[in-house]
Each structure stands twice: as C-alpha cells, then as structure tokens.
Amino acid sequence: MMTEGWERMPLAEASLCRGCWDQMRVPVPIRGPLAFPLRLAGIRVSRMHPNLCTICETQFERVKGAKQLLVPATVLFADVRGYTDLSERLDASRMAGLLSTFYEHCAAAIWERDGIVNKLIGDAVFAFFNFPIRHDDHLRRAVEAGLELQRRCHDVQAASGHAASDAWGVGVGIHTGEIAIGEVGQFCRDFTAISPVINLAARLQGAARPGEVLVSADAYDQLGTGLGSDGPRMLQLKGIEHPVTAYAVQALSPTGGRVPS
Amino acid sequence: MMTEGWERMPLAEASLCRGCWDQMRVPVPIRGPLAFPLRLAGIRVSRMHPNLCTICETQFERVKGAKQLLVPATVLFADVRGYTDLSERLDASRMAGLLSTFYEHCAAAIWERDGIVNKLIGDAVFAFFNFPIRHDDHLRRAVEAGLELQRRCHDVQAASGHAASDAWGVGVGIHTGEIAIGEVGQFCRDFTAISPVINLAARLQGAARPGEVLVSADAYDQLGTGLGSDGPRMLQLKGIEHPVTAYAVQALSPTGGRVPS
C-alpha cells in the first residue's frame, strides 16, 4: 500500500504550486526563498492542499477568465456518525480533539491522492478530485481516499481504547460527473463547487452506514468489472425525486478496478 | 428601520480591525496606508466580516493562548429551500447567480449587526454573533439579522418576476448559549465553532418553513415578553433525543423584545 507509514513520512512537499502548473503551466514558488516575494503579494500555501497556492481559490476569475468552470470531477463527502449525540455527552475540548483527528486522517488520505479539501463543515469533510491538480483517474483516487480514510479512522479508534460510549464511525459518499468550480458571491465570496453531483454525493454520505464508502451506480460502473461490494442498494434520498442505486465499495483491485469476487 | 437604504450605502468600513480591538484592545489597521506593512505580513481583511482582519481566524491560538475559547454567543443558520430540486432544473451559472444573491443578502443582514459569516456551505450560511466583535445583545442582533435577511430575499424574489417554478424560499434557525470558538485541526486547520448549540440551530433551520425564523424556546424566553410568534411548536429533530420547543418569530419590538400581541 502506497500510503503505509504516512504518519511518519508526511506528504512530499512541492516547491511549485501544482495547481498553477496543471491549470496554466505557470511555475509559482510556494516554498523556499523564491516563495518570499509572492508571500509579500499575499500568495501563500492553500489550506485546501499543502501543494497548492492561494491563487486558484482567491484569483479564480482573473486566472481562468470566468466566474465558474465546468470540470469533470469526483466529489467525496465524509462525516462522523453520531456526532450530535457525542457533542451532547463530551465536552468541547474532547469534541475538538475528535474532529481534529478526523480532519487529519481525511486530509491525509485525500491530499495524498491530490484531492482538495474544499470545506470542513462541523463533523463533515467536502473534497473533490481533478481540480486544480489534474488526474484522469480522479474517480479511482477518490474511492481509494475513501477506503483509506475509513481504514485510518478505524485504526485510530481501535488503538485509542476509548469506552464504547465514545465510539464513532465515519460515513463516506462518492459521486462523479461535471461540476462547476469557481468563486460564488461578490462581497461575500467563496471558492467552491456547484452541481447536482455534489448534492447526490452528500445524500449518499448521509445514507452510508458507519464504515462504508457508498458510491453512485454511475461511479461504480466506471470503476470497471469485478465486485468488491455487497450488491446494489436502492435508496430513497431526501430532495431527490427518483430512487437512487448505490454500492458500498469494500476494496479496489491493484489495477484500479473493483476487486473481482 | 436602521438598515433601510443599505443597498445604496454599504456597511461603514472601519480603519482598525474591530475584532482585535474588542478582544485584545490592540489597534490593527486594516485600511489606508497603515495597513500596508501588515499586508506584507499576510494580514488582510477577513472574508467573514469586512471590519475584521485575518489575525483572529489564523492566529487564534497565539492570540488567545488557547486552542478553543468558550464564549456566550448566538448561532444563525440560513438555507435555500428546494435547493437540490432547483439545482437539477437550473444550469450551473443560474445556480451560482442564485447562491450569490442569497450569500450577499445574508451577509449584509449579518455583517451590519456585527455577526460573522463563518461558513458558506453550498446553499447554507452559518453565522455567529458576539465573537470577535462583542455585543451583549447578540441574541437580539441575530434575530434581527434573520428577520432582515428573510425580508431581503423575499423582496429580491418579488422584484425579479421569476417563473413560479424558479421560486425559492429561505429557512432560518437560531439558538443561543455557550460555544467553543477556535482553530480545530493541525495540518488541516479550520477556524470554526463547536457546540451542541450549533447542532440544534442547524436542526431548527432544517425544521423552519420557507420564510420563517425559527428560534429555540431558550432564545425566545430571553427575547423578553410579548408575542410576535404563532405560539410554541413541538419538534422531533434528527439526532436529538427529546422533543424540542421552538417559535417562529415574526417581528421584534423597537426595544428589542418581541412584539406584544
């Protein structure tokens, strides 16, 4: 497994912003002495991914010449199951510790596969893959990140020896398709993505059981032949008129497809 | 009404960060020539409120000497009703336009009363009042902001002459109490707040009908005597064990209490 030992060996830090390179073929130094003048101009390492600078998020319209851009991408949502219940039983500092652990392991799994963490929303993480760092296999990367973050959160829990009453699980939802990425709002601005693809991924996350990576049928079909799931599941999701088919993916084969049964 | 004519007269811009002043009595220039050296150090106007600098959000632990701080505050959530449905019928640029309008009017109503917009989450806005700009009447300010943003969104819709099929409403949920504010996460960091108060406010927002400002019974009682609501409503909210009592507030009296019947 590529990611083994990540705790000891952090993500390889790039000296140039990988987003500016992939999107514009412009070398933007983000580390080392060459990064200093850019810092004076307010350009820093992005919080969304340690190998990106803040140009893509804050200067999107100037750089891309459009407010939003349609991009094929894969969307991943992960959240802590039973968070509301936990937050009523644990004090704020323990809840912050739990969230911090959760964020860290989600980010590690996502960043390593070049996805960006667009938002941390209380007990949920919203990430997408294929922008600004491009990878044709963004779907596979997202599913790998989902499986990896489940493994990490499971291992952390197993190692902590917490009381059963403090146990927490994670639900992951993944969908793929075209999303509009860019800056929304004028005075009150935000770098984010808009698409029904995102809404469906969020609903799949809501329907995932603790420990599951639930992917849409579209995504599942694109992952290739083989199984690695317990079969299709028909879901009636809030705000979505028709029933939706989804699969809980358990593992991917080394070639990136699903594991054959 | 204090806020009349806001569209023509933007929020009065402060030259010093009001958060640094209220929290530390330190004058931090955010506009004018004195702000230039601070910009070189990476300190800018915050996106959460135009009269705040980025010190409070990115240097929280250094400034306050703690990862999180317990603060009495009021939490406001607002979201667009029928967003998922709309996002399947409208294209991305129209959805972005709708969200932009929604963000703008929420932010105007919140900023003017010194609340901060902590997060924009797709079709939802998460704001809190009393940090870092302090006001003892944070609850009244939040409810005023909720009523004002409903008025604004209603007026925008009425003026646009959109087809009925494109109509959208807004739900607002408000609760008050102690929240832990600070930075969560280490590598993957986020300036946000943690508390069961926030979860309840989010659930109240989910239960509010389009056009409503739904406040918890705690908040309603603290608003003072009088009515201005259609009576208590018993709600069974997801993730919250016991039924919750809430009130849809329709107006506040000029003294800040509820309007007497």
CATH, residue A65: 3.30.70.1230
CB-CB neighbors (< 8 A) of A185 in chain B: 99-100, 103-104, 107, 120
Q: Indicate whether A40 belongs to any domain.
A: no
Does B120 contact chain A (CB < 8 Å)? yes
Q: What is the pLDDT of residue B75?
A: 98
A122 pLDDT more than 60: yes
Residue closest to B52 by CA, chosen among B114, B136, B107, B110: B114
Please report which confidence band the pLDDT of residue A1 belongs to, taking 50, 70 and 90 as the band edges. very low
- How many angstroms separate the CA atoms of B33 and B69, rounded? 33
CA dist list (Å): A213 to A50, A136, A151, A260, B74: 25, 21, 11, 17, 35
Q: What is the pLDDT of residue B7?
A: 44
Please report which confidence band the pLDDT of residue B260 belongs to, taking 50, 70 and 90 as the band edges. low
B261 pLDDT more than 80: no
Q: Indicate whether A16 belongs to any domain.
A: no
Across the range A32-36, mean pLDDT stands at 92
**Per-residue pLDDT tens for B115-125?**
999 999 889 99
Q: What is the pLDDT of residue A5?
A: 36
Distance from CA of B259 to the nearest CA of A (A): 31
ipTM of the complex: 0.84
> At which residue do the structure tokens 């929020």 appear?
B11
Is there a contact between A182 and B103 if contact means CB atoms under 8 Å apart? no
Q: How far is CA A36 from the centre of its chain?
A: 30
CB B63 within 8 A of CB B25: no
Largest separation between any pair of C-alpha atoms in chain B: 56
Is there a contact between A104 and B185 if contact means CB atoms under 8 Å apart? yes
Distance from CA of B180 to the nearest CA of A (A): 6
Q: Indicate whether B71 belongs to any domain.
A: yes
CB-CB neighbors (< 8 A) of A107 in chain B: 185, 187-188
When mean pLDDT is compared across A135-149, A204-218, B79-93, B169-183, the lowest value belongs to B79-93
Q: Indicate whether A255 belongs to any domain.
A: no
Q: Indicate whether B56 belongs to any domain.
A: no
Does B240 contact chain A (CB < 8 Å)? yes
Is there a contact between B122 and A185 if contact means CB atoms under 8 Å apart? no
Whole-prediction pTM: 0.89
Q: Indicate whether A227 belongs to any domain.
A: yes
Residue-averaged pLDDT of chain A: 87
Scanning A69-195, the segments in alpha helix (DSSP H) are 83-89, 92-111, 138-160
The closest CB to that of A92, out of B10, B70, B120, belongs to B70
Q: Indicate whether B95 belongs to any domain.
A: yes
Across the range B151-156, mean pLDDT stands at 92
When mean pLDDT is compared across A191-195, A210-214, B1-5, B147-151, the lowest value belongs to B1-5
- How many angstroms separate the CA atoms of B227 and B234, rounded? 17
> At which residue do the structure tokens 């028709």 appear?
A242
Segments forming the whole domain that contains residue A132? 57-248
Range ranked top by mean pLDDT from A5-9, B113-117, B187-191, B223-227: B113-117
**For strand A68-81 and strand A169-184, is the pairing parallel, antiparallel, or unpaired?**
antiparallel
Does B41 contact chain A (CB < 8 Å)? no
When mean pLDDT is compared across A243-252, B2-11, B207-216, the lowest value belongs to B2-11
How many domains would you assign to chain B?
A: 1
Q: Indicate whether A120 belongs to any domain.
A: yes
**For strand A169-184 and strand A213-216, is the pairing parallel, antiparallel, or unpaired?**
parallel
Scanning chain B, the segments in alpha helix (DSSP H) are 18-24, 36-40, 55-58, 60-64, 83-89, 92-111, 138-160, 196-207, 217-222
Number of neighbouring beta carbons within 10 Å of residue A222: 14
Residue of B nearest to A58 (CA): B47
A6 pLDDT more than 60: no
Please report which confidence band the pLDDT of residue A113 belongs to, taking 50, 70 and 90 as the band edges. very high
